[in-house]
Amino acid sequence: MAAHVRCPICLNMVDWARAEIVAMNADGGTEPLVRREGEDDLAWNQRTLNAYRLCESGAGEPHVLPGRYGDFGEPLVIGVVGESAAGKSHLLAAMLGMLTDVDRMSQLGLVVGGLDLKRHQTYLRDVVRPFLDQGKGIDGTPAGPPEFTDALWIHSSRMGRNFAVAFFDVSGEWLANHDAQVPFLGAASALVFVVDPTRIRGLTGSSGSVTGDPSFDVVLNKIAHLRGFEGEEFMPLPAAVVVGKSDLLRHHEVLVERWFRDTSPEEELDLRTVEAESEDAYAFLSSRGARGWLAPFARCTPSTLHFASSTGHGAVKEEGVQRSPLGGFTPRRTLKPLLALFAMCGVLDPTDLGQEAVG
Ligand SMILES: Nc1nc2c(ncn2[C@@H]2O[C@H](COP(=O)(O)OP(=O)(O)OP(=O)(O)O)[C@@H](O)[C@H]2O)c(=O)[nH]1
Ligand SMILES: [Mg+2]
Ligand SMILES: [Zn+2]
């Protein structure tokens, strides 16, 4: 158990063992849970199945953290960054959907479960399964202060320990706004930066920018300020930069196409290709007038570059709802960037990435 845990909502340090344990009641309020005299583990575990701990150090309403958030040492906090409609929510849903594949996880020596069981089940039921099973697109994320999107515990048999991992998916509009509060950036252990090829001039159409994604700059500057890295060339923050929506690129682009030829599940678990993929994605972006999108790769260390498609093909809009025209979406290469981040954060063996994979 970590002695103190940083609350990702307000950045205050929470004395974990002393933080109040509560249950949520039906109207969203909290009720204290106290272990009864002589209550055995099984009965207590049953009562605390959906328990939370409170961060009460901030002003106003206490922040509700998953009950076991601080039970496994310092939690990992992973955020997804990119401008509005870059494809962050689809990418995160595709990534987290892959983590429910017990067989693939066991090949990596990982066991994955919900840390906040209620939130995890709700996210899978309302977002991930309709997306992966029924081809239902995901709505834009409302602009507002970041909340937990999902929280997992991960047992890594190769590293011989457990991790609490929290994911934050924030609206691109909010991220790109200098004045909007994004406190979890101060606690972030790793970030996924989503490059939207449709915003790069000349890649999928004649419109678009040549200067990069404004949300990348805002986020990198905020982190530098929050953590005292201003004036330093590199920031010690693992980052995976993902060229998303690659289904729109691959058929015309040699550097992209080669990564989509082998779609076997085994290939996606193999981190030895990350170095070569990073080189190709770097060459691709820098040769196509998209150097601006390489900012996270240049600033964050270690960092990797990837190609991925969360949907496999474009969605169509029917009666205001985005749907797959083929009945279902087929994410491609969405797991590998997350596994690369896991390796950079020590959930998987960092040496799996190879010596020079990370910049
Ligand atoms: N062709 C294609 N379209 C995609 C892909 N991923 C997402 N999209 C489309 O991109 C649009 C935006 O996706 P979102 O995941 O909602 O984008 P976001 O970055 O979460 O946007 P905000 O929540 O507004 O910040 C949707 O219309 C998706 O259908 C992909 O891999 N390929
Ligand atoms: Mg979103
Ligand atoms: Zn707090």
- Which pLDDT tens digit goes with each residue over 207-229? 889 999 999 999 999 999 999 99
Q: Residues 39, 84: one domain? A: no
Place of tokens 């004649």: 206
Q: Would you say residue 238 lies in a domain? A: yes
Residue 139 and residue 137: Cα distance in Å, rounded? 7
Which ligand gives the minimal distance to the CA of 176?
A: 1
User: Which amino acid would we find at residue 14?
Assistant: V
Rounded alpha-carbon distances, angstroms, from residue 311 to 136, 210, 314: 10, 25, 7
Kindly give the distance from the C-alpha atom of residue 13 to the centroid of ligand 3, in angstroms, as a whole number. 8
Q: Would you say residue 235 lies in a domain? A: yes
Q: Residues 302, 155: one domain? A: yes
Beta bridge partners of 21: 53
Task: Return the pLDDT at 355.
Answer: 55
Indicate the SS3 state at residue 39. coil
Ligand 1 is surrounded, with C-beta below 6 A, by: 82, 84-90, 137-138, 140-141, 171-172, 244-245, 247-248, 309-311, 314-315, 322
Q: Residues 188, 55: one domain? A: no
Kindly give the distance from the C-alpha atom of residue 84 to the centroid of ligand 1, in angstroms, as a whole number. 8
Asked if residues 216 and 194 have their Cβ atoms less than 8 Å apart, the reply is no
Rounded alpha-carbon distances, angstroms, from residue 37 to 33, 44, 98: 13, 11, 42
Q: Residues 190, 326: one domain? A: yes
Q: Residues 168, 293: one domain? A: yes
Residues with CB under 5 A from ligand 3 (ion): 7, 9-10, 55, 58, 63
Task: Return the pLDDT at 107.
Answer: 95
Q: Would you say residue 71 lies in a domain? A: no
Phi, psi torsion values for 178, nearest 5 degrees: -55, -35
DSSP state of 18: G
Smallest CA separation from ligand 1 atom 28, residue: 87
Residue 186 and residue 240: Cα distance in Å, rounded? 18
Q: What's the domain count of the chain?
A: 2
Range of the domain at 336: 76-353
The residue among 37, 66, 95 that closes a domain is 66
Q: Would you say residue 290 lies in a domain? A: yes
Residue 71 and residue 153: Cα distance in Å, rounded? 10
Beta bridge partners of 194: 242
Q: Would you say residue 120 lies in a domain? A: yes
Task: Return the pLDDT at 359.
Answer: 52
Q: Residues 132, 208: one domain? A: yes
Which ligand gives the minimal distance to the CA of 139?
A: 1
Task: Return the pLDDT at 357.
Answer: 47
Asked if residues 164 and 67 have their Cβ atoms less than 8 Å apart, the reply is no
Q: Residues 103, 175: one domain? A: yes
Residue 288 and residue 135: Cα distance in Å, rounded? 32
Q: Residues 53, 128: one domain? A: no
Asked if residues 306 and 296 have their Cβ atoms less than 8 Å apart, the reply is no
Asked if residues 296 and 216 have their Cβ atoms less than 8 Å apart, the reply is yes
Q: Residues 118, 26: one domain? A: no
Instruction: Give the rounded distance of the alpha carbon of 4 from its chain centre.
Output: 23
Instruction: Give the rounded distance of the alpha carbon of 355 from its chain centre.
Output: 24
Pocket test for ligand 1, best of 203, 311, 333 (most atoms within 8 A of CB): 311
How many beta carbons lie within 10 A of that of residue 137, not counting itself? 19
Residues of the chain with pLDDT under 70: 58, 355-359
The residue among 66, 95, 113 that closes a domain is 66
Asked if residues 54 and 64 have their Cβ atoms less than 8 Å apart, the reply is yes
Residue 165's nearest CA partner among 73, 54, 78 is: 78
Q: What is the dihedral of CA 11, 16, 19, 21, to 10 degrees?
A: 110
Q: Residues 37, 147: one domain? A: no
Q: Would you say residue 23 lies in a domain? A: yes
| CATH code of 255's domain | 3.40.50
Kindly give the distance from the C-alpha atom of residue 314 to the centroid of ligand 1, in angstroms, as a whole number. 9
Smallest CA separation from ligand 1 atom 7, residue: 87
Pairing of strands 190-195, 235-243: parallel
Q: Would you say residue 155 lies in a domain? A: yes
Residue 241's nearest CA partner among 272, 181, 284 is: 284
Q: Residues 293, 317: one domain? A: yes
Residue 164's nearest CA partner among 173, 155, 172, 176 is: 155
For every residue of 133-184, DSSP letters joined together read HH-B--PPPPSSS---SEEEEEEETTTTEEEEEEEEE--HHHHT-TTS--GG
Kindly give the distance from the C-alpha atom of residue 89 to the centroid of ligand 2, in angstroms, as a whole number. 4
Q: Residues 121, 250: one domain? A: yes
The residue among 27, 42, 66 that closes a domain is 66
Q: Would you say residue 107 lies in a domain? A: yes
